Amino acid sequence: MELKFQKMHGTRNDFVVFHDLANSVELGPDQVIRICDRRAGIGADGIIVVRADKSADFFMDYINSDGSVAEMCGNGIRCLAKYAYDNGLTRDTAIRVQTRAGIKILELFPGPDGTIDTIRVDMGEPIFDPRLIPVDIDARTVPIVDYRIEAQGRAFDATILSMGNPHCVIFVPDDSEALPAMYGPTIETLPLFPAKTNVEFVRVLDRTHILMRVWERGSGETFACGTGACAAAVAARLKGMVDSGATVHLKGGDLLIEWQTQTSSVLMTGPSVLVYSGTINI
């Protein structure tokens, strides 16, 4: 079967995107792994299938590069929005997208050429309930802040929450560049996290700027993670380290994250880029 696709990225978190509004295409894990292979395939952190949905404008069917299904992808949902608008699937600049983590509301901003280049996403409220994150902690108080974990003999204080998918945010005082590859695989698979977890290593630069490196569940170290950037900003706000709006500096670019209070939605604003269009036989 020949499949038309677009290669896209959001802050260099990259995806293979195509639409299947008739829900006629199903990809098995082996096919996903082959497509995402950076040497023998197209190469991507994951695949996004734009599907029809009865309760929203679209459904985001997101699959990690290892073939596992994910609840939500912050950079990916911005790419979906650009794909849908630029390919004529919608003419609206405010759309609702159903995900496995619920409906997200997106505001689309066209650039000078009429295509979408920036998207603001209402990511919903952070989840602090251990049962819903999920994390195997009998917490007497939530949010879970500065919970001591250990990986490869090193202790970390972690802030644990969900942005529709689980996150373990760790603040470090110095360079975080080498930490994802060094500790990410171990922390991702700790028994503490029954559904595994994304891991963010964060250094707060000042009240409005955060530096973050990430190990993504199911994808490994990536250039960016949208839900991870949201989790990092929320965790920093919980600890009183940043203001209600902060720019998160990722390996692949910057995202603006805004969060007021524990009952407020998290807003994420960032770019989406078309790399190229093509076809592949699957």
User: What whole-number distance in Å separates Cα of residue 77 and Cα of residue 242?
Assistant: 26
Q: Which residues pair with 248 in a beta bridge?
A: 210, 255
255 contacts: CB under 8 Å, gap ≥ 6? 11, 74, 224, 226, 229, 247, 248, 268, 269, 270
Taking 50 as the pLDDT cut, the residues of the chain under it are none
Instruction: Give how many domains the chain has, as a whole number.
Output: 2
257 contacts: CB under 8 Å, gap ≥ 6? 229, 230, 232, 233, 234, 245, 246, 247, 248, 266, 267, 268
Query: Which residue is catalytic, options 36, 73, 168, 230?
Result: 73
Sign of CA pseudo-dihedral 3, 97, 108, 261: negative
Residue 131 lies in a domain: no
Residue 73 lies in a domain: yes
Residue 192 lies in a domain: yes
What was the pLDDT predicted at 114? 96
Same domain assignment for residues 189 and 76: no
Active-site residue flag, 36: no
Residue 136 lies in a domain: no
What was the pLDDT predicted at 191? 97
User: What whole-number distance in Å separates Cα of residue 55 and Cα of residue 26?
Assistant: 21
Same domain assignment for residues 115 and 218: no
User: What whole-number distance in Å separates Cα of residue 247 and Cα of residue 258?
Assistant: 9
User: What whole-number distance in Å separates Cα of residue 86 and Cα of residue 272?
Assistant: 11
What was the pLDDT predicted at 175? 84
Same domain assignment for residues 101 and 36: yes
User: What whole-number distance in Å separates Cα of residue 256 and Cα of residue 120?
Assistant: 9
Task: Give 124-173 pLDDT, tens digit per residue.
Answer: 999 999 999 999 999 888 999 999 999 999 999 999 999 999 999 999 99
Same domain assignment for residues 217 and 168: yes
Same domain assignment for residues 220 and 247: yes
Residue 137 lies in a domain: no
Residue 92 lies in a domain: yes
Helix (H) or strand (E) holding 46: strand 46-51
CATH of the domain at 49: 3.10.310.10
- Amino acid at residue number 68: S
- Amino acid at residue number 245: G
Same domain assignment for residues 119 and 195: no
Upper half-sphere CA count for residue 12 (Cβ side, 13 Å):
12
Reading the block at residue 210, the tokens are: 């955060």
What was the pLDDT predicted at 176? 85
What was the pLDDT predicted at 44? 98
The conformation of residue 166, written as its DSSP 8-state character, comes to E
Residue 130 lies in a domain: no
SS3 assignment, position 223: coil
Same domain assignment for residues 151 and 57: no
What was the pLDDT predicted at 139? 85
User: What whole-number distance in Å separates Cα of residue 182 and Cα of residue 202?
Assistant: 15
Sign of CA pseudo-dihedral 88, 17, 271, 124: positive
The conformation of residue 82, written as its DSSP 8-state character, comes to H
Same domain assignment for residues 156 and 219: yes
What was the pLDDT predicted at 143? 96
Same domain assignment for residues 106 and 61: yes
The distance from CA 147 to its chain's CA centroid, rounded to whole angstroms, is: 23
Give the structural domain span for 243: 144-264
SS3 assignment, position 235: helix
Same domain assignment for residues 113 and 165: no
In 3D, which of 55, 58, 49 has the Cα closest to residue 25? Answer: 49
Same domain assignment for residues 105 and 165: no
Query: Which residue is catalytic, options 36, 79, 168, 225?
Result: 225
Active-site residue flag, 225: yes
Residue 276 lies in a domain: yes
Same domain assignment for residues 79 and 53: yes
